[in-house]
């Protein structure tokens, strides 16, 4: 059912940039290459490509997001869906919390706080 | 000579244990008569001496004192400048290890080979830096072992328990949780999950903020204006935190020379509220570990508390509520990691470990059912596979007439490539004029020393390439550099 096509990081980025459609602004500075020592040390060509994409277009000031918005929780989601979503996010951002990149770490901490808030609202306090 | 020695190189406290002739481990005190040595180094400005331990922690100038260096073991850019010399976190750790080696060998004889513990989710660079620190201190590392594994080995040994055990190790800087199975004299690790930057010192910082707020209200000035004042207040906050593990309420008088003193009142309830977000994060890590092992709370026979911060009553309550049984303390919560490491030195063959990370590659995954395709992290060896192990995944090439196949090696569990590390790349040259869709096999193998290898085989041409997946970037010392620094360290006065 699944076909797996090998795709190196540089190729996948070329694919993403090729069409006229701009890269979604929410593409975060890919921690993969920016933060991680190996990629940094190697100075692989991938890095420059990544950096280019990472530079966000001057961001318009956004209103502060609610914990639900940060976690992508929608009103129609039931408790099980929320639980699964929080689990996925916790796993992701707990790992990001030990990133070497200060920005990634700060984002992770903000997300973990939001995850806990949504959890408390949905399932009660510990 | 002490043959089986274990060292817990902690964020706040370090300890060394050895295995006695009767097969039981024992903590070896340092030359200051303490069982555990604060992981703090002080560079004196008058004498050419490096103080390690309590004297360093309580002593002098905060600008010359290095705390919690373990938090930076994987940061090549974290350099400490002292008297014209640059110190890496690994070298600072080497000073701590040197003191342990020197002091303890006076009691138990020569110490050459050791097992050193690390948090379960320490990455490769942090592990390498730890090994380098030991080598600089003149110690050969027999094995690195995960802290909760060591604690579990000690708990199983001292309590003679059988069944599924969940170890909850909340220390000064990290939380580690491991689930394992004890059958007879054998231990099988099922999963290990960790949260870095979740530990007692985070609670201290939170409490310090509360102190500052109360102080400002009363005195209309900041509680601290420099690092020395901040350290002092932090210390007071830590003491209050510890008291609140025993008492419902504490009062403290704090302040500084410029703005005077103020009285701070704090209840356990307030403290619990302040750290609730952190404790919930800790619970979520426990749930993650249970999920990874595909277990329910009721499948766990024993919940074991390890680490100084596990003394906080709220932590015990949270676990008791979740598991429906009260967690057991392994008695000496801040010593059991070192004790377990000494046991591990002898028993490692009886302990079946798992790989700490997922390894894989980036692939365009095409879902035939939905027609969707996207670049994903395609995992070859999932985290928590029993080691040693070897796994293969088949892929196809993406372009016609491709001359070079590039395989990015990833570390991390997330499907989304944004949230994994690319730790290396294998390039394999293949014959010209081939259509896309040629089969490529990617095999990862993981041995008991936690070394990972990746093999890429192009099926059609039979060409292959194998590499050791190893971090070689910034922060890793060459053998020569390591030798130079260790001889430099050996001449140093460390007390
Ligand atoms: N009674 C207590 N109540 C609350 N916290 C305590 C108590 N006793 C010790 N602690 C805290 O425990 C922490 C030290 O624990 P421990 O020695 O297990 O950590 P560590 O091994 O140095 O750190 P890590 O394992 O994270 O590297 C400190 O933050 C200390 O303040
Ligand atoms: Mg510890």
Residue B1 pLDDT > 50, yes or no?
yes
Give the model's pLDDT for residue A51. 36
Nearest CA to ligand 1 atom 4: B242
Q: What distance in Å separates residue A86's CA from the closest CA in chain B?
A: 9
Shortest Cα–Cα distance, B372 to chain A (Å): 10
Residue A12 within a domain: no
Domain that holds residue B420: 359-468
Q: Which residue has the higher pLDDT, B168 or B467?
A: B168
Number of domains in chain A: 1
Q: Is B136 in the pocket of ligand 1 (CB under 6 A)?
A: no
Confidence of residue B61 (pLDDT cuts 50, 70, 90): confident
Residues B13 and B146 in one domain: yes
pLDDT for B169:
95
Q: Rounded to an integer, what distance in angstroms lies between the CA atom of residue B30 and that of residue B34?
A: 5
For residue B156, is it within any domain?
yes
Query: B396 touching A, CB under 8 A?
Result: yes
B11 in contact with ligand 1, CB cutoff 6 A = yes
pLDDT, tens digit, 9 for 90 and up, residues B334-374: 999 999 999 999 999 899 989 888 999 999 888 888 888 88
Specify if A41 maps to a domain. no
- Whether the upstream peptide bond of residue B401 has omega within 30° of 0, thus cis, is no
Nearest ligand to residue B175 Cα: 1
Model confidence pLDDT, tens digit, residues A47-100: 333 333 444 556 667 788 999 999 999 999 999 999 999 999 999 999 988 776
- Confidence band, pLDDT 50/70/90 cuts, at residue A27: very low
Same-domain check for residues B343 and B408: no
Is the same domain home to B56 and B116?
yes
Measured by CA distance, the residue closest to atom 2 of ligand 1 is B242
Q: Could A32 and B410 be called an inter-chain contact, meaning their C-beta atoms sit closer than 8 Å?
A: yes
Beta bridge partners of B392: B443
Average pLDDT over residues B182-194: 93
In a domain, residue A79? The reply is: yes
Q: What was the pLDDT predicted at B132?
A: 94
Same domain, yes or no, for B66 and B215?
no
pLDDT confidence bin for B411, thresholds 50/70/90: confident
Q: Crossing angle, helix B268-292 and helix B313-323, to 10 degrees? A: 40
Dihedral (CA of B346, B352, B358, B359) sign: positive
A87 within domain boundaries: yes
Same domain, B208 and B240: yes
pLDDT digits (tens, 9 = 90+) for B346-355: 999 899 989 8
- Which chain B positions have a beta carbon within 8 Å of A9's beta carbon? 362, 408, 417, 422
Contacts of B363 in chain A (CB under 8 A): 4-7
Regarding whether B219 and B143 lie in a shared domain, the answer is no
Q: How many helices (H) and strands (E) does chain A have?
A: 7, 1
Give residues with Cβ within 8 angstroms of A61, minimum separation 6.
Answer: none
Question: Minimal Cα–Cα distance from A111 to chain B, Å?
Answer: 11
Q: Say if B300 falls within a structural domain.
A: no
Q: Which atom of ligand 1 is nearest to the CA of B201?
A: 29
Domain region containing A112:
67-126
Q: Residues 45 to 84 of A: which have CB under 8 A from any B CB? A: 46
The answer to whether B196 contacts A46, with C-beta atoms less than 8 Å apart, is: no
* CATH number of the domain residue B218 falls in: 3.90.640.10
User: Confidence band (pLDDT; 50, 70, 90) for B136?
Assistant: very high
Are both B207 and B126 inside the same structural domain? no
Is residue B317, in this structure, part of any structural domain at all? no
Residues B50 and B135 in one domain: yes
> What residues of chain A, 19 to 38, have a C-beta less than 8 Å from chain B?
27-28, 30-33, 35-38
CATH (domain of B421) = 2.60.34.10
- Are B426 and B409 spatial neighbours (Cβ–Cβ below 8 Å)? yes
Q: For residue B311, is it within any domain?
A: no
Tell whether B38 and B70 lie within a shared domain: yes
Number of domains in chain B: 3
Written as six digits, the tokens of B441 are 């096999």
Identify the bridge partners of residue B41 per DSSP, sorted by sequence position: B52, B66
Mean pLDDT value across residues B268-278: 97
**Dihedral (C-alpha) B266, B267, B270, B274: value to the nearest 10 degrees?**
60
Of all ligands present, the nearest one to the C-alpha of B307 is 1
Q: Is residue A35 part of a domain?
A: no
* Residue B172 Cβ < 6 Å to ligand 1: yes
Backbone angles phi, psi at B482, to 5 degrees: -65, -45
Q: Is the per-residue pLDDT at B434 higher than 70?
A: yes
Residue B407 and residue B460 in one domain: yes
Mean pLDDT of chain A: 70
pLDDT at residue number A30: 34
Percentage of chain B modeled with pLDDT above 90: 73
The CATH number of the domain holding residue B341 is: 3.30.420.40
Residue B200's pLDDT band (boundaries 50, 70, 90)?
very high
Task: Answer yes or no: do A6 and B361 touch at CB < 8 A.
Answer: yes
Amino acid A15: pLDDT: 54
Q: Lowest-pLDDT range, A55-59, A107-111, B65-69, B416-420?
A: A55-59
User: Residue B355: its pLDDT value, please?
Assistant: 87
């Amino acid at each position: 059912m699944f076909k797996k096509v090998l795709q190196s990081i540089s190729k996948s980025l070329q694919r993403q940039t090729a069409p006229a459609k701009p890269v979604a602004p929410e593409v975060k500075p890919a921690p993969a290459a920016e933060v991680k020592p190996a990629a940094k040390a190697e100075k692989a060509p991938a890095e420059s490509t990544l950096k280019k994409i990472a530079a966000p277009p001057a961001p318009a000031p956004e209103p502060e997001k609610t914990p639900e918005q940060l976690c992508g929780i929608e009103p129609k989601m039931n408790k099980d869906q929320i639980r699964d979503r929080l689990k996925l996010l916790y796993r992701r951002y707990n790992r990001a919390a030990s990133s070497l990149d200060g920005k990634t770490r700060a984002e992770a901490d903000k997300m973990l706080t939001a995850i806990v808030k949504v959890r408390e609202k949905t399932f009660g306090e510990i | 000579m002490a043959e089986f020695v274990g060292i817990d190189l902690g964020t706040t406290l370090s300890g060394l244990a050895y295995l006695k002739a009767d097969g039981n481990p024992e903590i070896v005190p340092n030359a200051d008569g303490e069982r555990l040595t604060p992981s703090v180094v002080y560079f004196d400005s008058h004498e050419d001496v490096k103080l390690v331990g309590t004297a360093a922690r309580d002593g002098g100038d905060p600008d010359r004192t290095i705390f919690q260096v373990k938090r930076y073991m994987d940061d090549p850019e974290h350099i400490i400048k002292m008297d014209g010399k640059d110190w890496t976190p690994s070298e600072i750790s080497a000073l701590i290890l040197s003191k342990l080696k020197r002091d303890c060998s006076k009691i138990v004889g020569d110490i050459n080979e050791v097992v050193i513990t690390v948090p379960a989710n320490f990455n490769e660079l942090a592990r390498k830096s730890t090994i380098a620190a030991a080598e600089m201190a003149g110690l050969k590392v027999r094995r690195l072992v995960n802290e909760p594994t060591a604690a579990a080995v000690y708990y199983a040994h001292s309590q003679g328990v059988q069944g599924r055990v969940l170890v909850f190790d909340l220390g000064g800087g990290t939380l580690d949780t491991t689930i394992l199975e004890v059958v007879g004299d054998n231990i099988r690790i099922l999963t290990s999950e960790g949260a870095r930057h979740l530990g007692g010192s985070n609670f201290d910082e939170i409490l310090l903020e509360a102190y500052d707020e109360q102080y400002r209200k009363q005195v209309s000035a900041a509680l601290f204006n420099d690092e020395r004042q901040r350290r002092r207040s932090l210390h007071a906050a830590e003491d209050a935190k510890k008291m609140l593990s025993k008492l419902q309420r504490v009062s403290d008088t704090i302040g500084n020379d410029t703005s005077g003193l103020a009285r701070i009142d704090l209840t356990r309830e307030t403290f619990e509220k302040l750290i609730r977000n952190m404790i919930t994060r800790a619970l979520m890590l426990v749930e993650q570990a249970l999920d990874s092992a595909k277990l329910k709370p009721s499948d766990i026979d024993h919940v074991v508390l390890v680490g100084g911060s596990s003394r906080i009553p709220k932590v015990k309550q949270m676990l008791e509520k979740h598991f429906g049984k009260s967690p057991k303390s392994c008695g000496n919560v801040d010593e059991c990691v070192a004790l377990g490491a000494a046991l591990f030195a002898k028993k490692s063959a009886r302990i079946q470990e798992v790989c700490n990370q997922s390894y894989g590659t980036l692939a365009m995954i095409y879902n035939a059912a939905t027609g969707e395709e996207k670049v994903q992290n395609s995992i070859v060896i999932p985290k928590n596979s029993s080691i040693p192990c070897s796994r293969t995944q088949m892929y196809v090439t993406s372009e016609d007439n491709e001359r070079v196949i590039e395989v990015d090696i990833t570390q991390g569990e997330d499907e989304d490539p944004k949230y994994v590390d690319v730790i290396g790349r294998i390039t394999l040259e293949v014959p010209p004029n081939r259509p896309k869709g040629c089969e490529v096999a990617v095999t990862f193998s993981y041995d008991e020393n936690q070394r990972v290898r990746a093999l890429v085989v192009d099926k059609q041409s039979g060409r292959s390439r194998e590499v050791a997946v190893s971090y070689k970037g910034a922060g890793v010392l060459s053998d020569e550099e390591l030798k130079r620094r260790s001889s430099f360290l050996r001449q140093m006065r460390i007390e």
